[in-house]
Structure 1
Amino acid sequence: MTTTASVFGAVHLGYIVIETERFTDWRRFGTDAIGMHHDGLGPDLMRFRLDDQECRFLVRRGSAEDVVATGWHIDDHTAFEQVEARIRTHGVPLQQGSDEEAALRGVERLLRFAGPKGITQEIYTTPRRSPEPLRMLASGFVTGDSGMGHIALTSTKPARIRGYFNTVFDARLTDCIEETISGVRLKIRFLRVDERHHSVAVAATRGLPLDPVRTRVQHLNIQAATLDDVAQSYQRVHELGFDMALSVGQHTNDRELSYYARTPSGFEWEVGWNPLVIDETTWEPSTLEGISVWGHLPVGQTITDKLAQFRVGARSLSRNEDTVPALSGAGIPDE
């Protein structure tokens, strides 16, 4: 079996698994604030839907208060087998998910393997569709060929993470952004696996290898169907008393208009609208200055918050970051 044929374009972000003890807050956040469809599966499990796929977010009870797994939809069995062969060739163990685990994620079957920052990566080919009509405050979300949105990570070894997603999924560099936030110089790399501008973003501090974020993910993104959906969910987040991280603004690179709320688990949740779609025949990577054209201003951040973030970053100096060297190009120097 060949492992050299590219799987780019056949890979899409499909679902996210979150572990939390804050079930009541997460239900209110997901349904009443963001506006997603909710399915309760018992005292320790719930799911959120964005479309007809049975599961886009699986929320399970646990102490992590973080994302613990990402699920990637592979278009066909040929591409699935190519990804599987790559992982085996690099000597990384694969585990078959149980029938119960697959059912909870709304897929027919899945394979899992180690991912950067301790986030388990899962792949599947066939999502299960729900006949139940959506019950949600939002008019809809954009998924399909673009996947369900993106994840953003902070890292002290960004080249390793880029190498990982290139090795596994043939991810392409879309562009980079350089930005100074609170005196810290950041470089953010945006990686795509399909037509969406990016499915993975990786932010790193320049100079010192600091990771100022406690959680494995810095934020998750979903794409609302209309501008009204963004505005109305922004208002609901405020009215329901959830913390807002960044006000409404527009990004320089993908032109997405969005805001960032803070989830009950502490990482951020971006709701966006109308990002550009990549044309592979004309796109060339570039480096831009500044994350936003306008807006995206911090909301309610105090000096205490900034000091707490500095302490998290200082502690990261003594903490090893898991990069799965066998899949991440261990010999590639970090830029």
Structure 2
Amino acid sequence: MSVFGNVSLGYLVVETCRFADWRRFGRDAIGMHLDDLSADAMRFRLDAQECRFLLQRGPAEDVTTLGWQVDDHETFDEILRRVRRCGVPVTTGTDEEAALRGVERLVRIPGPNGLAQELYTRARIGGEFSVAGAGFVTGEYGLGHVAVTSTKPHQVRGYYNTLLDARLSDFIDETMSGVKVKIRFLRVNRRHHSVAIAATNRLPINPIRTRVQHLNIQVAQLDDLTASYQRVRALGFDMALDMGQHSNDRELSFYAVTPSGFEWEVGWNPLVVDESTWRPTTHQGISIWGHEMQRGADRLGQFTTAARSLLRREDTVPALAGAGIPD
């Protein structure tokens, strides 16, 4: 049984101590709905779903969890069978954890590089909410995507293939700060990608501190994109990459720097994959135009992080990754 097409990216959990900065960033700059739950938890909403981003107090300043919405119990049980067959532990979420995420039937599975994966079957619908402009595009294809960096990209790809029957959409070859990088784009439904995996070619280093390099959300109209861009600038948040258009999914977007240090891409109008005709290809460069780097690269910090990554074992959850999937 294939689970492809019956799963979508539903929410992310972020651990941070910078609640005041996140309020300004998420509500005032990006334009999401904010719900303050307690002194140690807050949520952002994009749509009627109670939670799309859960922020919990803690020192990581990073995304800690990806939440995957599963369309039906049959698909949910199939994924759990795969996990248990591989001998990987499954943890059932508590009632409190499920309530914070606004979901039902919550389970947690270990994920690559310490990024936990959670599955749920139904999202609870909240009351009235207020977002900027015409709002955000979510629906059956999920809230957007995440990009991660890895020294073992084949194993990470193997993990998402085993867990979610992820399909390869395409590759991008790019040179960043003099380092050659290959990016693999994986989809779990017709959204062009829900997970992107970046790796330096032939170098076992990871220059990114956070588990997630960036996350993406999609606005409904072009005017919403430009308005969000202007708010990010006006409120003084750093811009990582200026406005531009991607070479593979053709999305128009910009990348802002979150209070926790990872990047937040706001995009408009990416293409939707036609499964009957789509064939993976390789693109040279991430952008057709634009996406100029705006913040000065912390070369010393990146070098230090990369050097430390040589000494750290990257856990890809081998039991689920298998031998990985060669390109």
The TM-score with structure 2 as length reference comes to 0.98
Indicate if the aligned counterparts of 2:110 and 2:116 stay in contact, CA closer than 8 A.
yes
Residues 193-252 of structure 1 deviation map (CA, whole Å, 9 limit, x = unaligned) = 001000000000002111010000000000011111111111111111111100000000
Q: 1:334 to 1:173 in 2, by over 3 A?
A: closer
Q: Gapped runs of 5+ residues in structure 1?
A: none
1:102 aligned to 2:98?
Answer: yes
Query: 1 CA distance for matches of 2:22 and 2:133?
Result: 17
Indicate if the aligned counterparts of 1:36 and 1:138 stay in contact, CA closer than 8 A.
no
Query: 2 CA distance for matches of 1:175 and 1:263?
Result: 27
Indicate if the aligned counterparts of 2:157 and 2:324 stay in contact, CA closer than 8 A.
no
Indicate if the aligned counterparts of 1:38 and 1:46 stay in contact, CA closer than 8 A.
yes
1:313 aligned to 2:309?
Answer: no
SS at match of 2:129: coil
1:292 aligned to 2:284?
Answer: no
One-letter code aligned to 1:21: C
Q: Select between 100-109 and 270-279 the one with higher mean Cα deviation.
A: 100-109
Query: 1 CA distance for matches of 2:277 and 2:79?
Result: 27
SS at match of 1:293: strand
Q: Select between 240-249 and 132-141 the one with higher mean Cα deviation.
A: 132-141
Q: Which of 14, 17, 27 does residue 18 from structure 1 map onto?
A: 14
Q: 1:241 to 1:179 in 2, by over 3 A?
A: same
Report the Cα offset of residue 138 of structure 1. Answer: 3.6
Query: 2 CA distance for matches of 1:327 and 1:333?
Result: 12
Q: Which of 176, 188, 192 does residue 193 from structure 1 map onto?
A: 188
Query: 1 CA distance for matches of 2:291 and 2:133?
Result: 22
Query: How do residues 271-290 of structure 1 correspond to structure 2 at under 5 angstroms?
Result: 271-290=266-285
SS at match of 1:41: strand
Query: How do residues 117-266 of structure 1 correspond to structure 2 at under 5 angstroms?
Result: 117-130=113-126, 132-266=127-261
Q: Which of 36, 43, 62 does residue 40 from structure 1 map onto?
A: 36
Q: Gapped runs of 5+ residues in structure 2?
A: none
Q: Which of 3, 7, 16 does residue 7 from structure 1 map onto?
A: 3
Q: For the aligned residues, what is the CA RMSD? A: 1.0
Residues 136-167 of structure 1 deviation map (CA, whole Å, 9 limit, x = unaligned) = 22421101111100010000000000000000
Query: 1 CA distance for matches of 2:128 and 2:225?
Result: 22
Q: Which residue does the alignment assign to 1:54?
A: 50
Report the Cα offset of residue 311 of structure 1. Answer: 1.9
Indicate if the aligned counterparts of 2:156 and 2:324 stay in contact, CA closer than 8 A.
no
SS at match of 2:103: coil
One-letter code aligned to 1:215: T
Report the Cα offset of residue 333 of structure 1. Answer: 7.3
Q: Which residue does the alignment assign to 2:316?
A: 323
Query: 2 CA distance for matches of 1:25 and 1:66?
Result: 14
One-letter code aligned to 2:321: S
Q: Which residue does the alignment assign to 1:63?
A: 59
Report the Cα offset of residue 306 of structure 1. Answer: 2.1
Q: 1:264 to 1:324 in 2, by over 3 A?
A: same
Indicate if the aligned counterparts of 1:10 and 1:74 stay in contact, CA closer than 8 A.
yes
Q: 1:286 to 1:334 in 2, by over 3 A?
A: closer
Query: 2 CA distance for matches of 1:154 and 1:17?
Result: 18
May I ask how many residue pairs the two structures share in their alignment?
Answer: 327
Q: Select between 90-99 and 309-318 the one with higher mean Cα deviation.
A: 309-318
Indicate if the aligned counterparts of 2:159 and 2:324 stay in contact, CA closer than 8 A.
no
Query: 1 CA distance for matches of 2:78 and 2:137?
Result: 27
SS at match of 2:123: coil
Query: 2 CA distance for matches of 1:310 and 1:256?
Result: 31
Query: 2 CA distance for matches of 1:195 and 1:332?
Result: 23
Residues 114-138 of structure 1 deviation map (CA, whole Å, 9 limit, x = unaligned) = 00110110001111011x2221224
Q: Which residue does the alignment assign to 2:324?
A: 332
Report the Cα offset of residue 310 of structure 1. Answer: 1.9
Percent identical across equivalent pairs?
64
Report the Cα offset of residue 334 of structure 1. Answer: 6.4
